[in-house]
Amino acid sequence: MSYPARILITFIAVIIGGVAAATADDDPRHERHELMEDVGKAAKPVGKMLKGEAEYDLDVLMTSLQTFQNVSTKFGDLFPPGTETGMDTEAAPAIWEDREGFEQALADWREAIDAAITAKPINLEDAKPVAGAVFKTCKGCHDTYRLADD
């Protein structure tokens, strides 16, 4: 193949690849966003119970904790190099600059979730400290590893 043709093909491949990456559902930037949306949706009914706006229900709490647990085990793998920016990601550069700290924040989250699942709190009073600890890890991680909202 001639040199200019090779350049042209490479160029086209890069464009196609770029467009595919920017739109694909399985792009980690898309996936991690969706997972966080799931976490938010699962947190909502728990928050209502903690605030006393909804009747306490252990099943509701456990279902939400299960969602958190599922997300927390795969979330850390969704920040490969090359996904620092683009697709409106709110991931902060700190994730790549301080990977260890980020992994630790995720470990703290998993630990709090596991503790709440093990506790199986039968009433609101028992649920408050363990569920509150899980919520605290959300904020703890976001403060450092997520960009501010627009």
Partner 1 sequence: MSRVRAAALLLATVIVAAWWLTEPRPMSADELPDHAADATAGERIFWAGGCASCHATPVDGKRAKDENKLLLGGGLELDTPYGIFRVPNISSNKEDGIGDWTMIQFVNAMQRGVSPGRQHYYPSFPYTSYAKIPATDIMDLKAYLDTLSSMPGQVADHALEFPWTLRRGIGAWKRRYLDTEPVIRFETASPPIEQGRELVEGAGHCGECHTERDSFGGLVTDRWLAGAPNPEGRGRIPNITPAGKNISEWSASDIAYYLESGFTPEYDTVGGTMVAVQENMARLTKADRDAIASYLKSIPPLENQAVE
Site for partner 1, rule CB under 8 A: 39-41, 43-44, 47, 51, 135, 138-139, 142-143, 146-150
Closer residue to partner 1 (CB): 110 or 142? 142
| Smallest distance from partner 1 to CB 50, Å | 9
Closer residue to partner 1 (CB): 17 or 132? 132
Cα(124)–Cα(107) distance, rounded to whole angstroms? 25
| Smallest distance from partner 1 to CB 49, Å | 13
The amino acid sitting at 150 is D
Closer residue to partner 1 (CB): 40 or 129? 40
The amino acid sitting at 17 is G
Closer residue to partner 1 (CB): 33 or 110? 33
| Smallest distance from partner 1 to CB 125, Å | 18
Place of tokens 């997520």: 146
Name residues whose C-beta falls within 8 Å of residue 41's C-beta, 6 or more positions apart in sequence: none
| Smallest distance from partner 1 to CB 5, Å | 42
The phi, psi pair for 146, rounded to 5°, reads -125, 140
Cα(78)–Cα(6) distance, rounded to whole angstroms? 33
Closer residue to partner 1 (CB): 96 or 135? 135
End-to-end Cα spacing for the chain: 48
Q: Which of 45, 48, 99, 43 is nearest to 71 (CA)?
A: 43
| Smallest distance from partner 1 to CB 104, Å | 16
